[in-house]
């Protein structure tokens, strides 16, 4: 990067706010998806929204691509740097700006950690509902970019359902407010499309969130089954009974072993473990839990335990939330997938995953949000065995294709990022993707914000929609104008 | 408009068949703007073909479902074609085991609910006029009622949409599963876009079970402030309400209706707790069938103004004071129904257009100070012609225009009717 630009950036963020040394830059070369690594030209750590704006303005003027980054816990490579660009870390924008309890709203900067929001308001009986497993380290800005979910989104919804307003630095450096503290603001729901846009539409510098009142009572049940089929049947019956649990999680034997080795949650050793959490008014939870217990029994549960204290409940959850990381205990390497299927397809898809796993000669552990059909199959392999990584990638792709064929999605909460770009075409036809690109072209016609992510291939945006002059690349038949 | 009627009729007939094209009559006019033809496609491919034809011929198109909210929005700059979605009226799939449903845009809300109820489920939304309103219409206008207190609005319920763009592209986005973050969330963009970006042909929703039991209470007080305090107390409690609606009017005492749904035995507890919160206020059980949403407030009276208002829940009391302060001296009759989360509808009956116009301007300025909004849904044409019914342009309008220009570069769809004259 030109020394003039370096000094301009340094003037904005200060000496300690700009990283240009290769060794230090390596800290930022990947996110939670570690098999893709790119060292950026520089990393800027602004301390205010104005600094973010000033940096983006320079990027826009100079045509430098930028990638926004929170804690870098994303699992799809969304924060993977661009070789010819810079990373804008939002870690220093970590203030909670406003807490408005009468209206159950908070305004935060993007670098605030997810769990800190809940910690801030918990003494008043409120919590922030989206709870990705990484909630103790991931940032709200990253959650907004990825539309993060979590175990409890079955009942409470995703990040998109909890964001009310955004202040955004657009890719041309303009600042725009989308949504706000009051609901149903006139105009297009650009906030709705910004959430989950994976950093491709700009950088949020202030985020207004909706809080939820902590329920009167929370109860968590563990049920051990002889098979994932039985456990899956119980899930369907619970939902069919009109009960909406806060969460229903399922783990298979391999996941249980791994989680036990890591966390000692005291899970029963079984083929299919269900974790059902109910919350709400005391009387309703008590009655619903009786029904859930009866359903689990009738579906073949041979052991049913109700967590007896908050401490017990937390241990149960700790095991579940540690499940990915715990895979290191049973396999040197693994690929985690994030496919979604209609809940009723669960038993069939699990059987087919088993067949694929056997055919590929690799183990697949299953740990997932069973209530909303969000699978997290973990394909276990050993990188040191020649060819095995490739087989694991193929198997992983086959599992995703299975999900799409079942009427589902390639990703329920981890995002497309770099990892699943190539899968997008299995789910959407060209016109569908082209239509999404219209939004991209309106926000970022020069593709500076997190370029080459999310979409299977880049597209050129005509500078002015409507009548246009053909782009030279288009005339030469190299690129398609859109 | 660059084509003569005969050519247009022939071209449209070639797409949908001659019997599904007819000349518009005066009753089809929108805010005094007379369309030329009504066209009724049979399927989404025909919808797309009609749009492609209209774009090519430089025609303006207004999509129409049940027509119940066709008077909302600014008067159109022009209307050549009304694109009726009447024939796209099927419930394509009710995947009751997955609690999702896919339905065509022209299906009436009540018809969808009847189909879903066969398996004890519902679209957890209570929009205006369900017997007339269609799925496409409620999506385009982002209509909602009291159930939003618990289930949110359509943006929280819609999982996927198929839209036909002005250039004839048919695009699907979102999916049929409740959890999906693949690609941009276009269903949210389309919801509430007033049919200015594309024509919705089909949508998939997440569903909820029909409640086993419903119990409602009606609290009355002489002062709004007492009911507002109760409402805030309920919101700050662990009780789970599926409706909380405050009704305030110039001529009658304020009431607060509260609704709980769930298992009968568990509801007793909630009701007891509500009664305790409202100690000192007059309270009576309300039969759920007597719960009236916005329908009862609505009128087709030419000389009335009906606004959608939105403020913070804590500002509901201040809003009612503002309305009283504005309407009192002008001797305007008014009625406000507002939901727990601060969104509501306000009807103002005025002597003449000047008074309504003046009242609206003051209300807008004052609700703006409450960080809220006030959109005129229904107003005398003379009022609508003098202002933007959507209120002051939001700061994001230039960006909204860029989105509009990408989706509909020639401004074929509903020209002029949306925010900022988009």
Task: Say if residue A344 is in the same domain as residue A399.
Answer: yes
Q: What burial class does residue B284 get, using C-beta atoms within 10 Å of its C-beta: 0-12 exposed, 13-18 middle, 19+ buried?
A: exposed
Whether chain B has a CB inside 8 Å of the CB on A208: the answer is no
Average pLDDT over residues B169-191: 95
Average pLDDT over residues B51-59: 96
Q: Do B173 and A428 touch (CB under 8 A)?
A: yes
Smallest CA-to-CA distance from B307 within B390, B213, B231 is with: B390
Give the DSSP letter string of A420-477. Answer: TGGGHHHHS-HHHHHHHHHHHHHH-TT--BS-SSSSSS--BPPSSSSS-PPPHHHHTT
Question: Which pLDDT score is estimated for A481?
Answer: 41
Closest-CA distance of chain B to residue A435, Å:
7
Residue A412 included in any domain = no
Q: Do A185 and B239 touch (CB under 8 A)?
A: no
Q: Do B181 and A146 touch (CB under 8 A)?
A: yes
Q: Do B391 and A186 touch (CB under 8 A)?
A: yes
Whether chain A has a CB inside 8 Å of the CB on B232: the answer is yes
Phi, psi of A5 (to 5 degrees): -70, -40
CB-based burial, B164-177: b 16+ in 10 Å, e otherwise: bbbbbbbbbbbbbb
Confidence class of residue A465 from pLDDT cuts 50, 70 and 90? low
The set of residues, in sequence order, having a beta carbon less than 8 Å from that of A387 and lying 6+ positions away, is: none
Residue B396 included in any domain = no
Task: Say if residue A180 is in the same domain as residue A233.
Answer: no
The percent of residues above 70 in pLDDT, for chain B, comes to 100
Residue A229 included in any domain = yes
Task: Say if residue B250 is in the same domain as residue B333.
Answer: no
Task: Say if residue B101 is in the same domain as residue B35.
Answer: no
The set of residues, in sequence order, having a beta carbon less than 8 Å from that of A7 and lying 6+ positions away, is: none
Q: What burial class does residue A326 get, using C-beta atoms within 10 Å of its C-beta: 0-12 exposed, 13-18 middle, 19+ buried?
A: buried
Residue reference for tokens 């297009």: A188
Closest-CA distance of chain B to residue A216, Å:
5
Whether chain A has a CB inside 8 Å of the CB on B189: the answer is yes
**Which residues in chain B are closer than 8 Å to A161, comparing Cβ atoms?**
152, 156
What the block records as the tokens of A143 is 């959650």
Nearest by CB to residue A188, choosing from B262, B308, B403, is: B403
Interface test with A, best of B45, B179, B404 (most A CBs within 10 A): B179
Residues of chain A numbered 322-341 and touching chain B (CB < 8 Å): 340-341
Q: Supply the mean pLDDT for chain B.
A: 95
The residue from B150, B183, B209 where one domain ends is B209
Residue A170 included in any domain = yes
DSSP-derived letter for residue B318 is H
Task: Say if residue A374 is in the same domain as residue A449.
Answer: no
Are B389 and B360 spatial neighbours (Cβ–Cβ below 8 Å)? no
Question: Which pLDDT score is estimated for A474?
Answer: 47
Residue A78 included in any domain = yes
Q: Which residue of A has its CA nearest to B174?
A: A409
Task: Say if residue A267 is in the same domain as residue A178.
Answer: no
Average pLDDT over residues B329-354: 93
Closest-CA distance of chain A to residue B334, Å:
22
Task: Say if residue A166 is in the same domain as residue A229.
Answer: no
ipTM greater than 0.90: yes
Question: Which pLDDT score is estimated for B184?
Answer: 97
Residue A480 included in any domain = no
Average pLDDT over residues A19-23: 96
Task: Say if residue A144 is in the same domain as residue A59.
Answer: no
Residue B180 included in any domain = yes
**Within chain A, what is the greatest distance between any pair of CA atoms?**
72
How confident is the model over A352-388, as pLDDT tens digits? 999 999 999 999 999 989 999 999 999 999 999 999 9
Strands B282-286 and B243-249, sheet pairing? unpaired
Total domains, chain A: 4
Average pLDDT over residues A331-335: 92
Q: Do A408 and B177 touch (CB under 8 A)?
A: yes
**Which residues in chain B are closer than 8 Å to A190, comparing Cβ atoms?**
189, 396, 399-400, 403
Average pLDDT over residues B256-279: 94
How confident is the model over B76-131, as pLDDT tens digits? 999 999 999 999 999 999 999 999 999 999 999 999 999 999 999 999 999 999 99
* Spacing of C-alpha B191 from chain mean position: 10
Interface test with A, best of B173, B177, B394, B418 (most A CBs within 10 A): B177
The set of residues, in sequence order, having a beta carbon less than 8 Å from that of B109 and lying 6+ positions away, is: B123, B125, B127, B130, B131, B133, B134, B135, B138
Q: Do B186 and A158 touch (CB under 8 A)?
A: no
The residue from B189, B209, B229 where one domain ends is B209
Q: Do B410 and A409 touch (CB under 8 A)?
A: no
Task: Say if residue B156 is in the same domain as residue B186.
Answer: yes
Confidence class of residue A457 from pLDDT cuts 50, 70 and 90? confident
Total domains, chain B: 4
Task: Say if residue A393 is in the same domain as residue A316.
Answer: yes
What the block records as the tokens of B230 is 């109760």
**Which residues in chain A are closer than 8 Å to B239, comparing Cβ atoms?**
281
Question: Which pLDDT score is estimated for A445?
Answer: 95
Task: Say if residue A123 is in the same domain as residue A203.
Answer: yes
Task: Say if residue A233 is in the same domain as residue A345.
Answer: yes
Smallest CA-to-CA distance from A283 within A219, A198, A220, A376 is with: A219
The percent of residues above 70 in pLDDT, for chain A, comes to 96
The residue from A213, A247, A263 where one domain ends is A213
**Which residues in chain A are closer than 8 Å to B153, comparing Cβ atoms?**
183-184
Whether chain B has a CB inside 8 Å of the CB on A283: the answer is yes
Nearest by CB to residue B265, choosing from A196, A283, A408, is: A283
Domain range for B103 is: 91-209
pLDDT of A94 over the 50 cut = yes
Residue with the larger pLDDT of the pair A458 and B335: B335
Q: Do A242 and B173 touch (CB under 8 A)?
A: no
Rounded to the nearest 5 degrees, what angle is found at the Cα of A375, between the Cα atoms of A370 and A378? 130
Number of H-type helices and E-type strands within chain A: 17, 18
At A78 the three-state DSSP class reads: coil
The residue from A89, A122, A154 where one domain ends is A89
Are B339 and B149 spatial neighbours (Cβ–Cβ below 8 Å)? yes
Rounded to the nearest 5 degrees, what angle is found at the Cα of B79, between the Cα atoms of B73 and B82? 90
Interface test with B, best of A191, A402, A438 (most B CBs within 10 A): A438
Residues of chain A numbered 225-264 and touching chain B (CB < 8 Å): 236, 239-240, 242, 244
The C-alpha atoms of residue A187 and residue B400 are separated, in whole angstroms, by 7
pLDDT of B10 over the 70 cut = yes
pLDDT of A466 over the 90 cut = no
Phi, psi of B159 (to 5 degrees): -105, -30
At A335 the three-state DSSP class reads: strand
At A357 the three-state DSSP class reads: helix
What the block records as the tokens of A182 is 């009051």
Are B403 and B48 spatial neighbours (Cβ–Cβ below 8 Å)? no
Residue B389 included in any domain = no
CATH of the domain at B374: 3.30.70.600
The C-alpha atoms of residue A141 and residue A89 are separated, in whole angstroms, by 10
CB-based burial, A380-408: b 16+ in 10 Å, e otherwise: bbeeeeeebbeebeebbbbbbbbbbebbb
CATH of the domain at A296: 3.40.462.10
The C-alpha atoms of residue A81 and residue A46 are separated, in whole angstroms, by 17
Residues of chain A numbered 43-82 and touching chain B (CB < 8 Å): none
CATH of the domain at B16: 3.30.43.10
Residue A197 included in any domain = yes
The residue from B68, B86, B104 where one domain ends is B86
Residue B159 included in any domain = yes
Task: Say if residue A221 is in the same domain as residue A209.
Answer: no
pLDDT of A467 over the 90 cut = no
Residue B412 included in any domain = no
pLDDT of A463 over the 70 cut = no
Where does A74-171 show beta strands of DSSP type E? Answer: 86-89, 96-100, 105-108, 126-127, 163-169
Phi, psi of B41 (to 5 degrees): -70, 160
Contacts of B1-6 with CB under 8 Å at 24 or more apart are B1/B36, B1/B57, B1/B58, B1/B59, B1/B60, B1/B78, B1/B80, B2/B57, B2/B58, B3/B57, B3/B59, B5/B36, B5/B37
Domain range for A150 is: 96-213
CB pairs under 8 A between A and B: 263
Question: Which pLDDT score is estimated for B200?
Answer: 98
Residues of chain B numbered 388-407 and touching chain A (CB < 8 Å): 390-391, 394-397, 399-400, 402-407
The C-alpha atoms of residue A103 and residue A249 are separated, in whole angstroms, by 32
pLDDT of A464 over the 70 cut = no
**Which residues in chain B are closer than 8 Å to A183, comparing Cβ atoms?**
153, 310, 341-343
Task: Say if residue A271 is in the same domain as residue A342.
Answer: yes
Strand partners, B214: B261
Residue B252 included in any domain = yes
Question: Which pLDDT score is estimated for A179?
Answer: 96
At A318 the three-state DSSP class reads: helix
Nearest by CB to residue A177, choosing from B236, B391, B396, is: B396
Nearest by CB to residue A182, choosing from B169, B240, B310, is: B310
**Which residues in chain B are closer than 8 Å to A410, comparing Cβ atoms?**
182
Q: Do B180 and A185 touch (CB under 8 A)?
A: no
Phi, psi of A334 (to 5 degrees): -155, 155
CATH of the domain at A104: 3.30.465.10
Task: Say if residue A338 is in the same domain as residue A255.
Answer: yes
Confidence class of residue B164 from pLDDT cuts 50, 70 and 90? very high
CB-based burial, A223-259: b 16+ in 10 Å, e otherwise: bbbebbbbbbbbbbbbbbebbbbbbbbbbbbbbbbbb
The residue from A165, A185, A213 where one domain ends is A213
Q: Do A182 and B237 touch (CB under 8 A)?
A: no
CATH of the domain at B273: 3.30.70.260
How confident is the model over B403-413, as pLDDT tens digits? 999 999 999 99
Task: Say if residue B138 is in the same domain as residue B227.
Answer: no
Question: Which pLDDT score is estimated for A112?
Answer: 98
Are A177 and A185 spatial neighbours (Cβ–Cβ below 8 Å)? no
The set of residues, in sequence order, having a beta carbon less than 8 Å from that of A337 and lying 6+ positions away, is: A375, A376, A377, A378, A379, A396, A399, A400
CATH of the domain at A75: 3.30.43.10
Residue B410 included in any domain = no
Whether chain B has a CB inside 8 Å of the CB on A425: the answer is no
Average pLDDT over residues A229-251: 92
């Amino acid at each position: 990067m030109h020394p003039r630009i370096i000094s301009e950036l340094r003037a904005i963020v200060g000496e300690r706010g700009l990283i240009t040394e290769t060794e230090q830059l390596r800290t930022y070369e990947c996110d939670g998806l570690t098999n893709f690594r790119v060292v950026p030209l520089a990393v800027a750590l602004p301390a205010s929204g104005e600094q973010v704006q000033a940096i983006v303005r320079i990027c826009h003027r100079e045509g430098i691509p930028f990638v926004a980054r929170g804690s870098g816990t994303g699992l799809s490579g969304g924060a993977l740097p661009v070789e010819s660009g810079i990373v804008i870390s939002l870690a220093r924008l970590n203030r909670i700006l406003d807490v408005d309890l009468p209206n159950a709203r908070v305004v935060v900067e993007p670098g605030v950690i997810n769990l800190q929001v809940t910690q801030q308001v918990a003494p008043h009986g409120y919590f922030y509902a989206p709870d990705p497993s990484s909630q103790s380290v991931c940032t709200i800005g990253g959650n907004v970019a990825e539309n993060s979910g979590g175990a409890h989104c079955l009942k409470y919804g995703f990040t998109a359902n909890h964001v009310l307003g955004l202040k955004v630095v657009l890719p041309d450096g303009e600042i725009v407010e989308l949504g706000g503290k009051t609901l149903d603001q006139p105009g297009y729901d650009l906030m709705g499309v910004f959430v989950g846009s994976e950093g491709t539409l700009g950088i949020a510098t202030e985020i207004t969130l909706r809080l939820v009142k902590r329920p009167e009572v929370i109860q968590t049940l563990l049920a051990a089954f002889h098979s994932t089929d039985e456990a899956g049947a119980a899930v369907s019956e619970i939902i069919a009974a009109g009960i909406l649990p806060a969460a229903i999680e399922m783990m298979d034997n391999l996941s249980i072993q791994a989680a036990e080795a890591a966390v000692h949650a005291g899970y029963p050793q079984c083929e299919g473990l269900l974790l059902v959490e109910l919350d709400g008014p005391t009387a309703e939870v008590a009655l619903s839990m009786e029904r859930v217990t009866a359903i689990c029994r009738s579906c073949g549960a041979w052991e049913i335990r109700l967590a007896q204290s908050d401490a017990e409940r937390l241990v149960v959850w700790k095991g579940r939330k540690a499940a990915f990381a715990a895979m290191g205990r049973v396999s040197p390497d693994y690929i985690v997938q994030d496919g979604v299927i209609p809940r009723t397809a669960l038993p069939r898809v699990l059987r087919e995953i088993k067949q694929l796993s056997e055919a590929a000669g690799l183990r697949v552990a299953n740990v997932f949000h069973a209530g909303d059909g969000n699978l997290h199959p973990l394909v276990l392999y050993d990188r040191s065995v020649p060819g095995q990584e490739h087989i694991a990638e193929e198997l992983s792709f086959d599992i995703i294709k299975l999900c799409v064929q079942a009427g589902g999605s390639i990703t329920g909460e981890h995002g497309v990022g770099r990892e699943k770009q190539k899968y997008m075409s299995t789910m959407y036809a060209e016109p569908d993707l082209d239509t999404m690109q219209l939004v991209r072209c309106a926000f970022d016609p020069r593709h500076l914000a997190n370029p080459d992510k999310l979409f299977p291939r880049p597209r050129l945006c005509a500078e002015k929609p409507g009548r246009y002059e053909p782009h030279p690349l288009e005339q030469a038949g190299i690129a398609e104008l859109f | 408009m660059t084509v003569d009627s005969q050519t247009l009729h022939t071209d449209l007939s070639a797409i949908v068949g001659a019997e599904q094209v007819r000349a518009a009559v005066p009753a089809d006019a929108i805010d005094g703007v007379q369309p030329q033809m009504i066209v009724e496609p049979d399927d989404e491919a025909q919808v797309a073909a009609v749009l492609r034809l209209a774009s090519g011929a430089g025609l303006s198109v207004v999509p129409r479902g049940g027509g119940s909210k066709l008077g909302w929005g600014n008067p159109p700059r022009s209307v050549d074609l009304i694109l009726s979605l009447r024939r796209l009226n099927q419930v394509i799939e009710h995947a009751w085991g997955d609690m999702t449903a896919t339905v065509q845009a022209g299906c009436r809300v009540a018809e969808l609910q009847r189909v879903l109820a066969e398996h004890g489920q519902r679209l957890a939304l209570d929009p205006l006029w369900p017997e007339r309103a269609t799925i496409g219409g409620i999506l385009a206008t982002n209509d909602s009622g009291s159930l939003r207190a618990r289930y949110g609005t359509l943006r929280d319920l819609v999982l996927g949409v198929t839209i036909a763009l002005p250039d004839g592209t048919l695009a699907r986005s979102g999916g049929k599963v409740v959890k999906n973050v693949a690609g941009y969330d276009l269903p949210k963009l389309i919801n509430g876009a007033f049919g200015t970006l594309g024509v919705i042909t089909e949508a998939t929703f997440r569903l909820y079970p029909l409640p086993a039991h419903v119990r409602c209470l009606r609290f009355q007080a002489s002062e709004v402030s007492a009911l507002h305090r109760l409402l805030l107390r309920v919101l700050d409690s662990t009780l789970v309400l599926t409706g909380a609606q405050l009704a305030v009017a110039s001529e009658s005492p304020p009431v607060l209706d509260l609704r709980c749904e769930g298992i009968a035995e568990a509801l007793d507890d909630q009701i007891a707790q509500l009664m305790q919160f409202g100690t000192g206020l007059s309270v009576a059980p309300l039969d759920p069938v007597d719960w009236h949403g916005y329908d009862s407030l609505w009128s087709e009276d030419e000389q009335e103004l009906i606004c959608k208002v939105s403020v913070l829940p804590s500002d509901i009391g201040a809003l009612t004071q503002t309305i009283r302060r504005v309407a009192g001296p002008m001797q305007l009759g008014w009625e406000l129904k507002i939901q727990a989360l601060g969104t509501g509808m306000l009807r103002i009956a005025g002597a003449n257009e000047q008074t309504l116009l003046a009242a609206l301007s003051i209300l807008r300025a004052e609700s703006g100070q409450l960080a809220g909004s006030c959109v005129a849904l229904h107003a005398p044409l003379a009022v609508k012609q003098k202002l933007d019914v959507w209120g002051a342009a939001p700061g994001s309008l230039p960006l909204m225009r860029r989105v509009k220009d990408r989706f509909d570069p020639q401004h074929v769809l509903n020209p002029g009717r949306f925010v900022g004259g988009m």
